[in-house]
Structures are given as C-alpha cells and as structure tokens.
A and B are shown apart, each in its own frame.
Chain A
Amino acid sequence: MTTENAPASMYRTTEGLGVWEHKGKVAAVGIGHSPTTRRWDGTPENTMGANSIIALRRAIEDAGVSPDQIDGLVLDPVTTTGAHWPEGQPIPMDVVNAFNPTDDPLDGIAKLSAEWILKNMPELTNVKFTMYGLGCMSHAIVVAAQAVGEGRTHTCLVLKSWHNLEGRYNQSGISAADTVPGTFALSPGRTLWGAPGSYGTALQFAEYCRKYGKSHDMMAPFMANSRRNGLLFPEGYWAQHRPEQLTAEDYLNARWIAKPASLFDNDIPIMVSGAYLFTTAERAKDMKQKPVYILNHASSRGAQRSILPTLDEVEAETASTGRKIYEGAGITADDLSFENMYDGFSLFHQFHLEGLRYRGMQNGDALDFYQTDISIEGPNPVLPSGGNIGSGRSRFWMHTDCIQQIQGRAGARQITGVKPEIGVSGGPMPMGGNFTVWSASPG
C-alpha cells in the first residue's frame, strides 16, 4: 500500500464555504501519548518509532476498540525537531534488530512511514486507508476528520511523532558551512543574516508592542499560567522532568534569543508521540469514552508579500481564520468555552486570540487580557493545556486538552470557571495552520 500526501482539497482554506458538510459526524474517542524525553537516548525502546507504537496502542486501548476494527491511519511522516541524522553515521545494530524495517534505514528513527507502523504493529490487520497530513498534528487531524467524514475510513488512528537527537537546534549542516547557495542566502528563514527561529515572531511582537503601546513584560502572567497548566499535564515534558513553576521574575530575567524573544518564549524541542482515535459519530456512541464531536476544521495559508509577515498581514490572516472557524462550525465567538490555540512561539498567541475575537477581544487587547484572570478556575481560561510552552514542543497538547476538557478527563487541569462545551485548537503559525472546533454535542 502506498501512502499519499493529503491533497490540498481536503483542507478548508477559504471563507465562504458555509457549514462543514460533516459537522458533528466525526468524533474523537481515544487519546494516547508516549513518555517524553529531551533527546533520543540511543536505545531501541526510546526511538521515535517505539514512542509512536506506545502512543497508538494507548489510544486504541483508551477508546476501547479492538485493533482489528481500525481501518485508517493518518500521520505526519516528518518527525524532526530540527535535528537530522548525521550523514554516513551507522544506526546501532540493536536498534536495527529491534524492528521490522522498511527500505529506508532511518524509518522509525528520523522519519516515519505508514508502512513502518503497519509492519511493526501486526495487530493492525484491517487498515485500508493511509494518508499523510504533512506538517503537524493539526494537519493530520484535518485529514483524518475529513477522511472519516467522507467515509474513506470509519475508525482512524491519527499520529504525530517527534525525534530529537544530540546537538543544538538547527546549528548543524548549512549553518556551519563556509558558503551557502545564493537562493538560500536570500530566503526568509535561516539566511546569511543569521535569523534564529523565533526572530520573525519576535519582530511581529515588537511591531505589535509599538503600535498598541504594550511591552514584553506584559507576557509574564501568560507565561506563568502556561507553565502552571503544563505542570498539571502529566503527559508533558515539564511535568515529567522539570516540575518547576515559572515566576514572572524567572521570565523577566531570562536570556534573550532574538530580543524581544527570550529563552522561555521558545518552546523546548522534545521527543514525544501523540495519537488519537477518530470515528463516526454513529460508532462513537458505543465506545468507552464520551465522544468529542468535531464541528469544523479550517486552515489558513497566508502568504507575506516579502521576507517577513507584517503586523497588518498577520492580523488580516488571523481575523480571516477566526471567521472561517466560526462559519464552518456554525457558531460565534460567544459559543467558545475555552481556547487552545498554538503558542510555540509564545509571542504569537495573542494574534490567534485576537483573530478569534475570544471574549470580545479586538486587536491590541490580548496583553491587557493577560493581566486579568486567565486561569483554569476563571471564566476566561487561556490555553488550559499550557501549550508547547507548558509541556514542550509537541504541537498536540492543545488538541489533547480540548478532547480531555470536554470529556471531563483533564484531571487537575480541568477548567472549573466555565462549563467545557466547545473548544478550539490549532496552529501553528498565525500565517499558516489548521484549526479544529471540538464539542460535547454534535451540533
């Protein structure tokens, strides 16, 4: 079975599409996560592939379905955090021997095919639909939701995995080369001028602060809230390995990466896998967990005119995304119980919030909103998952939290100031991402 990338037509990228034709007909019923680690420890048990299997088996068990009922698998084949396998370096034999290989020796270690999963999870005997949602969990969720809606699969696993190897983020390869190709030198990302990953977001934040009279220190309550929520997320990196609260003082004294982005404004790259089990609303009724219905998925595909998106470009895109999210779900901002938009980097969460018009917010309001009660106990929870800032860079805690909150399974993180009926998650970037509306009822 060959696995294709999802066609662009599966993503709802424009306004004016009306209510999603499969609104309320697809549900999430199972969740599974692997443990987190900072980097691969070199053992077979800690490979990205092994983590993937753990997450998938946990999601299956959580949903209470038997593996032979599963007929679909959607995943992101790209698993790098920015770390790449050193060219020519052999893979340890104990790792090679621990798994059933595909033609690619890095499969299961530094990339992931659907074929590898099926070869190493023999219990998945009935998978007939596989597809890649290339980019993030947010892509995989859209593709799986759309595929279940269209009847191409009825009980579908959704997977996102990450590998992280030795060495610093994005510092090998071309960053250490004596010369670079002319096109690379002029490209918007890592260029001749040495822009760190968070630089673009830092500049949008700087422009935002100048325009609205805000400052970086106004982020401190948001950061403390995110870490606090993250430490209440037992599946997350900080809860598992570094259970330290982040005080305003810690945040304000942190070293800069690309001022105004500091160390804590960057999410920490980790190894982790996360999986969900999606099925039809009909089948979900008989499963172990309370179904969480998908009311809509929407995607943004913004393009900046030149090197970096300007504040105007960002705000136009996030406002459009907000309209798409509500239009397809047939709801308004007033219907949101909570939000779990992306935060890696922390300095763009306000763009997502303002685009959503969350709690009536307009452009420029979010940092003042952060000075009010944004906790899980209050009436206006911001990022109850704690996001990537609170639990490390998985880009899926937000989706997991939406499902758990609505199921009433968020544990110590359960929001109490508002009844969790409808939540929204998604991203990553304000200029490009995928968003999902989750609901306790199908419509």
Chain B
Amino acid sequence: MVKQGVVPDELTKPFWDAANQGRLEMQNCSACNRLQNPPLPACSQCKSGEHLEWKEMSGRGKIYNYGVVYDCPVKLLQQEQPFNLVVITLDDDPGIQMYSHLPGTPVDEVPVGAAVQVIFEDTANGQKVPEWRVVA
C-alpha cells in the first residue's frame, strides 16, 4: 500500500530522517523522561520545548486495537479498500501509539495483543515511513 508522499517539516524532520535511515525515533522530554507521539512543539506534560529530544526506539510493539477502513477520505488509498487500520503501542512505553496498515495481515484478521516489529516502507515520493508486521 503506497501512501501519499511526505514533505518533512521543521517539527518532524528528525522523525522522517531517522525513518530514511531505518530507525524509529520518538520525541522525548528529558526533563520529564516522557515520550510523546504525535510530535509537538512542547512537552505535553511540562509544557516546555526546552528539553525535547529525539530518542531511538526498540522497534517492538503490540497491536492495541484496529478497525477496517471501507470508505477512506484519502484518494490514493481508496483503491486498497477495505484495509486494516491498526493502532500499535510501543513496548518502550505502552502509552505511545502509532498507526499501521499492518502489511501481511489479511483484512479483518488482526490479532489484537500480538507482538509486532517495525519495518520501513517507501511512500509515493520516496520518503520512508514506519510500518509494522506481526512477529511470526
């Protein structure tokens, strides 16, 4: 499933650069020792942007929840309908979620709770994006 291309912006550039190098990085507030996703200009706990850094993740997670998309607003994805749209939680911090199309898993056969591993896929403009696969 090829997603729309991504043009990194100032806030998210480290995330996308890391993805191009095959690493999953998350924003972390070193003062609070707390990860956050999606990325924000300030820590959502201490409200300061001073101590935000990017931290490499293990790339391991669990399937928290999912839905099956039959009527997608994004034109490029409409030809793939229906498709799984899964929410992953990171093993590094189960409070942190990421979206996934869960490539390799048949539609509506998503094993909630199963272990997943990050992979990196090309988007339409070549920017890589983190995706997830069920660990066999």
Q: Do A183 and B39 touch across chains, with their CB atoms under 8 A apart?
A: yes
Q: Do B11 and A182 touch across chains, with their CB atoms under 8 A apart?
A: yes
Q: Do B38 and A199 touch across chains, with their CB atoms under 8 A apart?
A: no
Least distance between B128 CB and chain A CB atoms (Å): 12
Interface string of B1-31 (1 = CB under 8 A from A): 0011111110111011000000000000000
Q: Do A178 and B87 touch across chains, with their CB atoms under 8 A apart?
A: no
Report how far A429 CA is from B3 CA in the complex, Å: 29
**A180-B5, A303-B44 given; A203·B67 CB < 8 A:** yes
Number of A-B contacts (CB under 8 A): 135
Interface string of B72-113 (1 = CB under 8 A from A): 111101000011010100000001111111000000100010
* Closest chain B residue to A190, Cβ basis: B73
Q: Do B70 and A256 touch across chains, with their CB atoms under 8 A apart?
A: yes
Contact of B129 with A by CB under 8 A: yes
Least distance between A232 CB and chain B CB atoms (Å): 30
Interface string of B26-54 (1 = CB under 8 A from A): 00000000001111000010000000000
Chain B contacts of A310 at CB under 8 A? 64
Least distance between B118 CB and chain A CB atoms (Å): 15
Range for the number of chain B residues in contact with chain A: 35 or more
Contact of A202 among B67, B97, B99, B129 (CB under 8 A): B67
Report how far A193 CA is from B72 CA in the complex, Å: 9
Q: Do A181 and B9 touch across chains, with their CB atoms under 8 A apart?
A: yes
**A194-B77, A259-B108 given; A186·B4 CB < 8 A:** no
Q: Do A259 and B65 touch across chains, with their CB atoms under 8 A apart?
A: no
Q: Do A175 and B74 touch across chains, with their CB atoms under 8 A apart?
A: yes
Q: Do A206 and B67 touch across chains, with their CB atoms under 8 A apart?
A: yes
Contact of B114 with A by CB under 8 A: no
Contact of A180 among B4, B15, B39, B77 (CB under 8 A): B4
Q: Do A195 and B65 touch across chains, with their CB atoms under 8 A apart?
A: no
Q: Do A307 and B87 touch across chains, with their CB atoms under 8 A apart?
A: yes
Contact of B70 among A183, A258, A303 (CB under 8 A): A258
Report how far A181 CA is from B12 CA in the complex, Å: 9
Report how far A256 CA is from B123 CA in the complex, Å: 27
* Closest chain B residue to A260, Cβ basis: B67
Interface string of A236-263 (1 = CB under 8 A from B): 0000000000000000000111111100
* Closest chain A residue to B89, Cβ basis: A306
**A179-B124, A187-B38, A307-B37 given; A196·B4 CB < 8 A:** no
**A175-B74, A182-B15, A308-B87 given; A192·B3 CB < 8 A:** yes
Least distance between A123 CB and chain B CB atoms (Å): 42
Contact of A93 with B by CB under 8 A: no
Q: Do B75 and A176 touch across chains, with their CB atoms under 8 A apart?
A: yes
Contact of A177 with B by CB under 8 A: yes
Q: Do A191 and B99 touch across chains, with their CB atoms under 8 A apart?
A: yes
**A190-B74, A193-B100, A196-B73 given; A256·B68 CB < 8 A:** yes
Report how far A210 CA is from B65 CA in the complex, Å: 10
Q: Do A306 and B13 touch across chains, with their CB atoms under 8 A apart?
A: no
**A182-B16, A203-B66, A307-B87 given; A175·B7 CB < 8 A:** no
Contact of B69 among A169, A181, A188, A194 (CB under 8 A): A194
Chain B contacts of A202 at CB under 8 A? 67
Contact of B66 among A179, A197, A206 (CB under 8 A): A206
Q: Do B66 and A171 touch across chains, with their CB atoms under 8 A apart?
A: no
**A191-B99, A195-B99, A203-B87 given; A178·B125 CB < 8 A:** yes
Chain B contacts of A106 at CB under 8 A? none
Report how far A210 CA is from B36 CA in the complex, Å: 27
* Closest chain B residue to A193, Cβ basis: B99
Q: Do A199 and B85 touch across chains, with their CB atoms under 8 A apart?
A: yes
Report how far A199 CA is from B101 CA in the complex, Å: 14
Contact of B71 among A185, A257, A303 (CB under 8 A): A257
Report how far A434 CA is from B64 CA in the complex, Å: 29
Chain A contacts of B123 at CB under 8 A? 192
Q: Do A178 and B4 touch across chains, with their CB atoms under 8 A apart?
A: yes
Least distance between B13 CB and chain A CB atoms (Å): 7
Report how far A328 CA is from B70 CA in the complex, Å: 43
Report how far A186 CA is from B125 CA in the complex, Å: 16
Q: Do A307 and B38 touch across chains, with their CB atoms under 8 A apart?
A: yes
* Closest chain A residue to B39, Cβ basis: A186
Report how far A186 CA is from B95 CA in the complex, Å: 16
Q: Do B112 and A210 touch across chains, with their CB atoms under 8 A apart?
A: yes
Given A196-B73, A257-B70, A303-B44; 13 other pairs, CB 8 A cutoff = A178-B4, A183-B9, A183-B12, A185-B6, A192-B74, A193-B100, A193-B101, A194-B72, A256-B68, A259-B82, A260-B67, A305-B95, A306-B96
| 27 CB < 8 A contacts A-B | A171-B75, A175-B74, A178-B5, A180-B4, A180-B7, A181-B7, A182-B12, A183-B9, A183-B38, A185-B6, A185-B12, A185-B129, A186-B15, A186-B39, A192-B129, A193-B99, A194-B77, A196-B72, A258-B67, A258-B85, A259-B108, A306-B36, A306-B95, A306-B97, A307-B97, A307-B98, A308-B97
* Ranked 10 nearest A-B pairs via Cβ: A182-B12, A179-B5, A306-B97, A194-B74, A259-B68, A193-B99, A194-B72, A194-B77, A182-B8, A256-B70
Using CB atoms and an 8 Å cutoff, list the residues of chain B in contact with chain A.
Answer: 3-9, 11-13, 15-16, 36-39, 44, 64-75, 77, 82-83, 85, 87, 95-101, 108, 112, 123-125, 129
